[in-house]
Amino acid sequence: MLVSITFDVEHDCPPYLMTTRGMEEGLPKLLDLMAEKNVRATFFFTAEMAKRFPGLVKRVIDEGHELGSHNYNHERLDRLPRDEGERTIVKSLEVLREFGEVVSFRAPNLQFPNYYYDILAKNGVLVDSSKATYKGYREGVRFFGEVLEVPASTTSSVIRLPWRLQRLIHARLREPRVYFAHPWEFVPMQKEKIRWDCRFNTGNKAIELLGMLIDHYRRQGAKFLTMGEYYELYQKLKR
């Protein structure tokens, strides 16, 4: 059984807030949890957050996780002309690659027109995780040209649902199960003027629930993969 824990590392709840509480308080707690559970995760950073919080990028890399790109400053690719979208991707890779290798990408809001696969390939990106099974993408893991698509399985708020409810959802997901969450979900957002589904069970409750999710899969003998590891796996299958 293959499971992936991924984080979209961005300012708080874009585009509604401009604060960075998730970076200051949420991400250190997430890194502590991943260390405690001995899980290597993928952290898709916006270049903007990497520039403002370089110590956290270094921690991600030093603790054995994968660093990926979540574009420059959370620009939505479906709302930009193609050449401008390309520029934001290239700029984000330039900044992030100063910290280490970057081979994976996730588009903000999981909005990713297919013509961007070629642009990723041209820029040395091997894996994309911008498609989402819960948004109707049904093709599973597959190559688009040179780039391997590893779709996200559920929306992020699922892993904040009460455990007895969310476990019914997990049981129905296709493999590999790719979860994603944001640092800002791990600080209390209950008082912010954002959508309800962005607020419930945020803070320490979310940390507790993510820990339960990891334990649940551990008990079943699941293997936790980073995005780059899927590329190695599927390259082998291709041969």
Nearer residue to Zn ion within complex by CB, 10 or 192: 10
How crowded is the C-beta side of 57, counted as CA atoms within 13 Å?
A: 23
8 contacts Zn ion (rule: CB under 5 A): yes
> Residue 182: is it exposed, middle or buried by C-beta count within 10 angstroms (0-12/13-18/19+)?
buried
Q: Hey, what are 20's tokens?
A: 């960075």
Contacting residue, 3, 9, 10, 57, with Zn ion by CB under 5 A: 10
CB 77 within 8 A of CB 108: yes
Nearer residue to Zn ion within complex by CB, 27 or 217: 27
In angstroms, the CA 168 to CA 174 distance is 13
Partners of 226 in beta bridges: none
Binding mask 199-238 for Zn ion (x = CB under 5 A): ----------------------------------------
Nearer residue to Zn ion within complex by CB, 8 or 149: 8
Peptide bond into 151 cis (omega under 30): no
Nearer residue to Zn ion within complex by CB, 43 or 217: 43
Q: Least distance to Zn ion from the beta carbon of 12, Å?
A: 11
86 contacts Zn ion (rule: CB under 5 A): no
Q: Are strands 142-144 and 177-181 parallel, antiparallel or unpaired?
A: unpaired
Q: Which residue is nearest to Zn ion (CB)?
A: 8
12 contacts Zn ion (rule: CB under 5 A): no
Q: Applying CB under 5 A, what is the total number of residues that bind Zn ion?
A: 3
Q: Hey, what are 10's tokens?
A: 């961005």
Contact range with Zn ion by CB under 5 A, out of 7-15, 54-62, 163-171, 196-204? 7-15
CB 197 within 8 A of CB 23: no
Q: Least distance to Zn ion from the beta carbon of 143, Å?
A: 24
Nearer residue to Zn ion within complex by CB, 10 or 185: 10
The footprint of Zn ion on residues 99-128 (CB under 5 A) is 108
Q: Least distance to Zn ion from the beta carbon of 97, Å?
A: 20
Q: Hey, what are 92's tokens?
A: 């984000």
In angstroms, the CA 29 to CA 178 distance is 21
Binding residues for Zn ion, rule: CB under 5 A, are 8, 10, 108
